[in-house]
Amino acid sequence: MNSVAIAGGLFGPPQTISKEAGSLNTAVGYRYHEDTYKNHADYVLRQNQIYSQVAYGAYKRWEIYGRIGLSDLKIFDAFRSTDVSTTTSKDHFEENWKFFGTLGAKGFYPITSIFGVGAFLQGSYTFGKFTDETAGIHNTTPFAADLEVKNLWDVNFGIGFQANVPFGIKLYGGPYVYYAEADARFSDNIPGLPFGTEKTLLKNKSAVGGFFGADIPLAKGFRLNIEGQYTDRFSFGSAISYTY
Amino acid sequence: MRYYLLLIILFMTLAAVYAPVHCVAAEPEQVPTDAVSFQPVLPVQTGDVPAKSSTQPADVVSDEYDEEDDFDYEDEPFAEERVTIADPIEPFNRVMHRVNDRMYFRLLKPVAQGYKAVVPEPARISVKNFFSNMGYPARFLSCLLQADFSGAAVETGRFAINTLWGIGGLMDPAAGEELGLRKQDTDLGQTLGVYGVGHGLYIVWPFFGPSSPRDSISLVGNQFLSPLSYFYPWYVSPGVIGIQVINATSLRIGEYESLIGAAIDPYVAMRNAYIQYRMKEVNARKAKSLLFKSSEASHPVADTTSRTEN
């Protein structure tokens, strides 16, 4: 079994940015995500995600949200052969934009007017499948085959601590746990290549990470959210939100 | 289809031949502020416009006002605005008016009422916002052609904000108090009007309602510029446009009834309301155009388009 981390976007500040009486807020965001998985070798996975989010929150205590977005996928060395008798035209698996959706909910409890603590639960699923093809030679016999990665989903649960600092800025951070998996299948069994015709279940290697970020008010109801996440590798993202 | 094209050519020819024939519309008390550029059926375009009706034949009315052509309106800046349009194909228009009227009461209104009963108003407003957002290319191009560059910028800002933060255009945060980017209610017909192109003659299209050769160009151009016209397979676009029409009608049920209910001659009332409404829109656009703004300022009630369209 291989392991991989495929997470679905920013977590945001623990406290909703919706109005106290209850209102919608929307956002557009981008996230650069990297992680590693290890089994026979270390592989690096990379995703660029862009998404649109709609959320509803109230009382400055709770929020539910949904996202729809596009994500690419790159798995480094997915086609790299470990057998000298096999050579491939390229080493990396790479596929462009596929739709993904995210649902989440968060709750917040203000301890003082400055500090508070909250928790969130967030899950994502990528629709469709990522595929990429490689060609090569095995023992002087040419071959062409493709790798298919599908059913990518993840679920994250975290606890966030928030501090309200001057100028309406919210600083936050905390630990989170997550689980992610995806199915990978190669169209042929080629000696030396890491995937075969048997379905391979990819799972996250490290289950725990940390996140930190800032939510900064801009003008005319817009806010800027910047966030970093760390598991095996560093990921970061940014979103601009608007409160109705 | 061939007959349809022949009819259009015939109308254009008639516009040139009969243009000096006028009908006069009275000043409406109220002008709709949010008409969709697409005219599904009469009420969508005209809105709640009480109009003084006239049952006189077009020629009699035009003769009456022909005697007043020498009157110098420019000297009286607050004189009542008079709007004229030729109506040489009135018999045909009256038939089409009746057809549209029947279609509205027997088909569109019942469907829209059913739709209204099922879909809550916020959702219908969101659908309206979505279709309005899709109309961005036509409004943007119209603003550019009218030399209203600030309007073009506003439209672009609205499109970006509403698409990104308005859930693909379902919401309209750009028009909120904080941003204040109001929709530039313009189309290609108004663009022609800004440059002095007159209506030509009054035409009532089946299904599309009141129009003129000038505004018919707008009707075609706006559809050509709408992304909704490019769905594949072909039959998806008419379906989507049908939803747009039903949704818009569901938000305006009662307006058309008010207009024709108060009129002695609904056809004349509709014609007057239409021409008044379009004239006010063109004048509003002229006031925003860099090319015409200064001349408009020196002539507060200038109505050159409507008075020179012959």
Question: Does A204 or A235 have the greater pLDDT score?
Answer: A235
Question: Is residue B11 predicted with pLDDT exceeding 70?
Answer: no
**Region label for A178, one of left (φ > 0), alpha (ψ between -120 and 50) or beta (otherwise):** beta
CB-neighbour burial class of residue B107 (10 A; exposed 0-12, middle 13-18, buried 19+): exposed
Question: Is residue B173 predicted with pLDDT exceeding 80?
Answer: yes
Of B167, B176, B178, the CB nearest to A26: B167
Query: Is pTM beyond 0.80 here?
Result: no
Give B45-62 pLDDT, tens digit per residue.
Answer: 333 333 333 444 444 444
Question: Does B96 or B37 have the greater pLDDT score?
Answer: B96
Give B222-233 pLDDT, tens digit per residue.
Answer: 888 888 888 778
Distant-in-sequence, close-in-space partners of B171: CB < 8 Å, separation ≥ 6 = A24, A26, A244, B126, B129, B162, B165
Across B163-167, average pLDDT: 91
Mean pLDDT (chain A, rounded): 88
Is there a contact between A244 and B178 if contact means CB atoms under 8 Å apart?
A: no
Specify the range with the lowest mean pLDDT, choosing from B66-80, B91-105, B219-233: B66-80
Question: Is residue A175 predicted with pLDDT exceeding 60?
Answer: yes
Is there a contact between A26 and B165 if contact means CB atoms under 8 Å apart?
A: yes
Altogether, the residues listed in chain B come to a count of: 310
A-chain CB neighbours of B161 within 8 Å are: 242
Specify the range with the lowest mean pLDDT, choosing from A13-27, A100-114, A172-186, B10-24: B10-24
Q: Give the ipTM.
A: 0.75
Nearest Cα of chain A lies from the Cα of B163 at a distance, in angstroms, of 10
Is there a contact between A244 and B176 if contact means CB atoms under 8 Å apart?
A: yes
Give A121-136 pLDDT, tens digit per residue.
Answer: 999 999 989 999 999 8
Domain residue ranges of chain A, discontinuous segments joined by +: 2-243
Q: How far apart are CA B41 and CA B246, in angstroms?
A: 10
Which amino acid is present at B114?
A: G
Give A200-231 pLDDT, tens digit per residue.
Answer: 888 888 889 999 999 999 988 899 999 999 98
> For residue B161, what is the nearest residue in chain A, using CA coordinates?
A242
Across A164-185, average pLDDT: 91
CB B243 within 8 A of CB B250: no
Is there a contact between B173 and A54 if contact means CB atoms under 8 Å apart?
A: no
The DSSP-derived string for B106-130 is IIIHHHHHHHHHHS-HHHHHHHHHH
Looking at domain A2-243, which of 1.10.3470, 2.40.128, 2.60.40, 3.30.420 is its CATH number?
2.40.128
Q: How far apart are CA B233 and CA B243, in angstroms?
A: 17
Question: Is residue B129 predicted with pLDDT exceeding 90?
Answer: yes
Question: Is residue B248 predicted with pLDDT exceeding 90?
Answer: yes
Domain residue ranges of chain B, discontinuous segments joined by +: 2-308
Of B166, B176, B179, the CB nearest to A26: B166
Q: What pLDDT, on a 0 to 100 scale, did the predictor assign at position B302?
A: 38
CB-CB neighbours of A167 under 10 Å:
7
Per cent of chain A over pLDDT 70 is 94
Q: Which of A25, A50, A52 to mutate to test the interface with B (most CBs of B within 10 A)?
A: A52
Strands A2-3 and A200-203: parallel
Give A1-47 pLDDT, tens digit per residue.
Answer: 444 444 567 999 999 999 989 999 999 999 999 877 666 566 788 99
Chain Cα centroid distance, residue B50: 16
CA max distance for chain A: 71
| Count of alpha carbons within 13 angstroms of residue B120, beta-carbon side | 2
State the helix-helix crossing angle for B149-164 and B121-134, rounded to 10 degrees.
130
